[in-house]
Amino acid sequence: MKKKKKNNKNFDQKQSSFYFEDYLETNKKNKFSQKNNPFQDRIYLLFFLFFSLILIFSIRIIHISLNKIQIFNYETTNQKYTPLRRDIIDRNGILVSRNIKSFHAAINPRLVKNKENLVIKLRLNFPYFPIKRIEYQLNQNKYFYLKKRITQNEKEKLWSLGEKGIIFEPFQSRIYPHANLYSHIIGQVDYDNYGISGVEKYFDKELKKKTLINQPLELTLDTNIQYLISKELDKALKTFNATGGGALLLDVESGDILSLVSLPNFDINTRASIKDKKYINKITKGVYELGSIFKTFTIALALDQDLVSPQTIIKDIPQSIKCSKYEISDIKDFPKDLSVEEILVRSSNIGTLLIARKIGKEKFKKFIENSNLLRSPDLQLEEVGNPINFNWNKCKLETVSYGHGITTTPLQATIVYAALSNGGNIIKPTLLKKKNISIKKRLISEKTSKKINKILRKVVTEKEGTASLADIEGYYVGGKTGTSQNYQNKNQNLNSFISIFPIQKPKYALLVMLENPQIAKDLIYDYRGTKIRGSRNESGWNSVYVAGKIIKKIGPILAIKNKDFNHQHVVKKVN
């Protein structure tokens, strides 16, 4: 029995020891496991992070590969660009003026590592830069402008220098694609985008309206016609050695100005200060005595008052008449008896004077007032002239009858011719294209208008007429010449011609004027099928010649755009 107990005791001891050792081992393992778990968690966390990054980059690479690559260019970097001024376009939608993103080039000397090297680069690439001034300003270590309003080519060349110190400051610049072509009409803006002349100034508020910023301002001008007229007029200045000139094309029904040219002109993109008077707008601001062009007004008034008819004979017309202390005469010898029609066709001063006396001063004065000849033109430009005031004293009726002693602008004179030819209604000239035609004021009757048109046609077609060189086949041109002299300098004169076409149903009035033209001795005229060398200096031999050249060039364009005109042109060709 004791033996058994002993054995049991031993067994218990052994068993107890076994369990003790097992517990210790397990406890050690648990402690080791507790120490290792944080380390393993970190590994798992890092693995997850790396895996996530790889996944993100993979998705991004796939996304980029599936999308179209956008290269850096002007369009992608200017999506948020909003112009400060509206575009200006012509009647055909051709761009005339627009705001674009431009740059000033400046230098921050503190960012320039090697100033001497920069100066050398600028001298080699931009020899026209003021290098000495640039060197001085670099040494002052103050921010300064290298050049304002740089061109795109200059910007690219400056950028290619790789100089961090060169800064490009963006700003909005107004550009004029046609440069000289519209210099007297469109005008300019200042550096702050405010209009300072021309259409830009007149419509300044409208052009800056944010609600209309995407809607261009549409003008009545036709760029193609403007170019053709400007080219022919510029050629004429050289041919006749003239100091200046002007031309105006007007729709006699609506008052739309299709072309307005004044030479010499200038590039409005350069924004230079123009102070020389020879650069004024001769059509709207120039004030002149237009000479014999006024004779048409005298004849029209006499016809409208039923004082005479085109066939009325004015008898015993003297070669000269003394009025007060002045003696008035004709340049040429005319027959003693002339019809009213012949007086205008031949352009007789004395004959016109005698008709004016039949009219009387009061009626003639009222006609001049109703015609607005002595007022500033009502046009969308601030560059308009003021005719010189005068008193209706002795001999004023006589001299005004043939265009001496009275001044006006070429625009106003053309407006009156439009009224005489369109049925007798004075129209308001306009540069702004619009659908609604303004209310017209009657100057003469429609009956008188038809009579005048027939006489103006004979001025061009008759052998004794003064405007034969404007008789362009198919366009039925009528008109009247005018030659006037400068009182202070007899060597200076103004030659002009106002034409109407097609005369059967007048649509356009074209004025051409030349300042101080000279005899074109080397020019060979085609005068009624005969070749004649230039030897005279009246308007019939220069302004009329130029008008004929212009009508021949622009006629087809106008004929295509005007159905009635086109029909008349075709009928003439067929016959």
Return the HEC string of 12-64. HHHHHHHHHHHHHHHHHHHHHHHHHHHHHHHHHHHHHHHHHHHHHHHHHHHHH
Residues 6+ apart with CB under 8 A from 510: 247, 248, 249, 250, 498, 499, 500, 501, 547, 550, 551
* Residue written as token pair 């001034």: 133
Q: Are 88-218 and 226-574 equal in CATH topology?
A: no
Report whether the peptide linkage leading into residue 130 is cis, meaning its omega lies within 30 degrees of zero.
no
Residues 6+ apart with CB under 8 A from 296: 344, 417, 420, 452, 456, 480
* Closest-CA residue to 385 (of 406, 424, 356, 411): 411
* Closest-CA residue to 247 (of 17, 519, 513): 513
**Residue 111 has which token pair?**
């960012």
DSSP labels, 513-552: EEES----TT-EEEETTEEEE----SGGGTHHHHHHHHHH
CA pair distance 107, 126, nearest whole angstrom: 15
Residue spans of the domains in the chain: they are 88-218, 226-574
**CATH of the domain spanning 226-574, picked from 3.40.710.10, 2.40.40.20, 2.40.170.20, 3.30.499.10:** 3.40.710.10
8 A C-beta contact, residue 358 and residue 312: no
Query: If DSSP codes are grouped into helix, strand and coil, which group holds residue 298?
Result: helix
* Residue written as token pair 């130029």: 546
8 A C-beta contact, residue 445 and residue 304: yes
How many C-alpha atoms does 199 have within 13 Å on its Cβ side?
A: 26
C-alpha distances (whole Å) from 59 to each of 45, 311, 496 are 21, 97, 78
Fold of 88-218: Penicillin-binding protein 2a (Domain 2) (3.90.1310)
331 phi and psi angles, rounded to 5 deg: -70, -35
8 A C-beta contact, residue 20 and residue 12: no
pTM over cut 0.85:
no
To the nearest 10°, report the CA torsion of 309, 311, 317, 323: 20
Of the chain, the end-to-end C-alpha distance in Å amounts to 161
Q: How many residues does the chain have?
A: 575
> From first to last of its 575 residues, what are the pLDDT tens digits of the chain?
444 444 444 444 444 444 444 444 555 555 555 555 666 777 877 777 887 888 888 887 887 777 654 444 444 444 467 889 999 999 999 999 999 999 999 999 999 999 999 999 999 999 999 999 999 999 999 999 999 889 889 999 999 999 999 999 998 999 999 999 999 999 999 888 899 999 999 999 999 999 999 999 999 999 999 999 999 999 999 999 999 999 999 999 999 999 999 999 999 988 677 778 889 999 999 999 999 999 999 999 999 999 999 999 999 999 999 988 888 999 888 999 999 999 999 999 999 999 999 999 999 999 999 999 999 989 999 999 999 888 888 889 999 999 998 999 999 999 999 999 999 999 999 999 986 555 678 999 999 999 999 999 999 999 999 999 999 999 999 999 999 876 556 677 999 999 999 999 999 999 999 999 999 999 999 888 888 898 889 999 999 999 999 999 999 999 877 665 555 544 344 33
CA pair distance 538, 550, nearest whole angstrom: 19
Residues 6+ apart with CB under 8 A from 452: 296, 299, 300, 303, 420, 421, 444
C-alpha distances (whole Å) from 174 to each of 83, 103, 148, 476 are 10, 12, 14, 42
Helix or strand (DSSP H, E) at 346: helix 340-346
CA pair distance 5, 11, nearest whole angstrom: 9
491 phi and psi angles, rounded to 5 deg: -80, -10
Query: If DSSP codes are grouped into helix, strand and coil, which group holds residue 282?
Result: coil
